[in-house]
Structure 1
Amino acid sequence: MGVESIVCSFVVLLALLAHEASAQQGNESYLAGHNEARSLVGVPAMVWDASLVAYAQRYANAQRAANSCRLLQPSNGPYGENKFWGSPGKRWSGEDAVSSWVALRKFYNARSNTCVPSSQPCGVYTQIVWRNTSSLGCASSVCPDNSTFIMCSYNPPGNIRGQAPF
C-alpha cells in the first residue's frame, strides 16, 4: 500500500469519526434537554432508542420529500411525538427544539392538568415529562426551502386523556 492510499484511508477514517462524534453530540443534546426537564418534576430519565430515531428520521424524510415540512400532520404511529419547524436562514439544533417545547411548561397547570389558556400547546411539554415514557429518539431534516424539521418520538406515548404526566 502506497503513501497516497494510507493518507486517503486516514482521511476517510477521520471523516467517519467526526460524523459519528457529531451525531453523538446531537443525540446527547436532545436527551440531556429532555432529562433535565424530567428531573425538575421528579420523573425518571429517559434513554436513547435507535429504533425511535429511525422512525423519526423516516417521518422527517417523508415530510421533506413531500415538500411539507410544517407541523400539520401527525404521524399516526404508535409513539408519542413532538415536532419543531425552524425557519430558513439558521442552523436549528435539537437543543433549540427541546428548549422551545420545555418553554411551554409555563402554560401547564398541574393542579387542573390543563393548558392555561387552553389555546396554548402545552402538550408538547407534558409529553417530555410524561412519567411512563422511558425512551426517546429524535431526527431532523433540512427542507427544500432551507427550513429545518425536527421530530422526537417517545415510547410509550404520553398525553393520555384523563391522566396527569407526573
Structure 2
Amino acid sequence: MLYSTLLSAAFAAGVLGSPLALLKRDVVTEYDYVTVTEIVTAGAAPEATSTVQFYGHRYGQYTRQSSSSTTSTSTTITSSTTSISTTTTSRAAVATSSVAPAPVSTSSSTTTTRVSTTAAAVATSSSAAAATTTVAAASAKATDYASIVVAHHNVHRANHSAPDLVWDAGLASTAATIAAKCVYAHDVTTNGGGYGQNIAAGVRADNISAVITNLFYNGEVNYFNGLYGQANPDMTNFEKWGHFSQIVWKNTGSVGCATQDCSASGLANVGSNVAPFFTVCNYKAPGNYGGEYANNIGNSLNRATVNWNYAL
C-alpha cells in the first residue's frame, strides 16, 4: 500500500544577550510543505525503520527503530527548506532563503538582550563533519516531559564540560504562559524576564527530545567550529548556532520548557503548513552574552553522537 500525506515543517529561534546594547535580529523565511511517502511491504523483516525530518532555525532529524517480524516500514521526508539529510546510508543538502538585517543598538550602556527571531534553515555542504554529542546511553530512563528535557540538555552539556542543568518549575510556568498565547515570537519579559529563551514550532510535546537533541544541538554544533575560545565570535551566522550555544552555556543552571497545542486557535506568525504546536524553553542565567563566549562554551569532547531516543 502506498500512503501519501502532508507533514508540517518545524522551525525554531533562539535568544542572545549582550551586556552593552539591546539588539534585535529578524529573519525572513520562505515556508514550504513537506510530502511524506510511506511504503509498507509485507514479509519478514528484523526491524522497522522510520526517518523523520523537521526544519527550522536549524535542521533536525531522528530515526525510529522497532522490532517486527511481518512488516518493514520506511518513511522518508524531503523538503525545499533545508540542509543535511542523514539516513543510515546518505546525506543531502537543500537551501532555504533567509535574510537577517544588521543589529541595531540602543543607547543603553549596561544591559542586555539580543533577540534572534530566526525561522530559517541554511544548507550545509557535503563536507560538513557529522555532529558529535556525548555518551551513547543514559544511566536511567527519562519518563516524563521535564526529565526528558533535562536529560537531553545535560547529555550535550557534558560533551562541552558544562555542569548539569536542573528543572525550574517557575521557568516552566512562565514558558507555559508564553506558549499559551499561541503567537510564535520571543517573549523574554513575562513574569519579570531575566531568562534566556529558545522557541520552536511544529513539533508535539511527545517529541521534545527531538527538538532539543536533533534540532537545537545536532543540527547546530558543527556551525560553531572555529569559534571556540573566542570571547566575541563572529555573529554573522548566529542564527545557525544560537540554540546550541544556549544549551551548553556553562553559566546557565536551570531550564523550564512547555509545549502548547494551539489547534483550537491556530498558531500565529507561522505558515499554514506548520503544525500548531509551540514550544518555549526558558533558561536562567541566560546565555549568549557578548564577551563571555570563551568562558562559557567549552570545546567538544567528541563523544558519541546521541539522538532523539537517548534515555527513552
> What are the residue-to-residue correspondences of 1:101-116 with 2, within 5 Å?
101-102=216-217, 103-108=219-224, 109-112=227-230, 114=233
Partner of 1:38: 157
SS at match of 1:110: coil
Pairwise CA distance, 1:119:
5.8
Q: Is 1:126 aligned with 2:245?
A: yes
Q: Deviations over 1:29-76 (max 9, x none)?
A: 1111100110001110001111111111111112x2xxx2x2x33333
- Which whole-Å CA distance do the structure 1 matches of 2:148 and 2:250 have between them? 20
CA RMSD in angstroms comes to 2.3
- State the Cα deviation string for residues 125-154 of structure 1 (Å, max 9, x = none): 111111011111110101134521111111
The 2-side partners of 1:160 and 1:119 are apart by 12
Partners of 1:147 and 1:136 lie apart in 2 by 23
Task: State how far apart, in whole Å, the 2-side matches of 1:53 and 1:73 are.
Answer: 15
Q: Report how far residue 93 of structure 1 moved.
A: 2.1
Change (3 A) 1:155 1:136: same
**Partner Cα distance (1:54, 1:73) in 2:** 16
Q: Kindly indicate whether residue 281 of structure 2 is the aligned counterpart of residue 152 of structure 1.
A: yes
Higher helix share goes to which structure?
1
Question: Does the 8 Å contact 1:138/1:153 carry over to 2?
Answer: yes
**1:138 pairs with 247, 252, 257, which one?**
257
The percentage of aligned residue pairs carrying the same residue is: 27
1:81 is paired with a residue of what secondary structure? strand
Relative contact order higher in (CA < 8 Å, ≥ 6 apart): 1
- In 2, Cα distance between the equivalents of 1:33 and 1:115? 27
Does residue 73 (structure 1) correspond to residue 213 (structure 2)? The answer is no
Q: 1:163 aligns with which of 292, 297, 302?
A: 292
Trace 1:15-34 onto structure 2 (pairs within 5 A).
25-34=144-153
Contact map agreement 2:188 2:196 (CA 8 A) in 1: no
| Cross-structure match for 2:86 | none
The alignment's TM-score, normalised by the length of structure 2, stands at 0.40
Distance 1:120 1:138 in 2: 20
CA distance in 1, matches of 2:212, 2:238: 20
The 8 Å contact of residues 178 and 187 in structure 2, kept in 1 or not, is answered as no
TM-score by length of 1: 0.72
**What SS does the corresponding residue of 2:220 show, helix, strand or coil?**
helix
Distance 1:73 1:152 in 2: 10
Contact 1:107–1:115, Cα closer than 8 Å, also in 2 = no
- The number of residue pairs the alignment matches comes to 136
Q: What is the CA–CA distance in structure 2 between the aligned matches of 1:92 and 1:115, rounded to whole Å?
A: 35
- The code of the aligned residue for 2:155 comes to E
Distance 1:74 1:34, change over 3 A: same
**Residues 107 and 141 of structure 1: is their aligned pair in 2 closer, same or farther, counting only changes over 3 Å?**
same
- Structure having the higher strand fraction is 2
Q: Is 1:59–1:75's contact at 8 Å kept on the other side of the alignment? A: no
CA-CA distance at 1:118 after TM superposition: 1.6
Q: Give the direction of change, closer, same or farther, for the CA distance of 1:54–1:119 in structure 2 (3 Å limit).
A: closer
Residue 13 of structure 2 is matched in structure 1 by none
Can you give the 5+ residue segments of structure 1 that lack an aligned partner in the other structure? 1-23
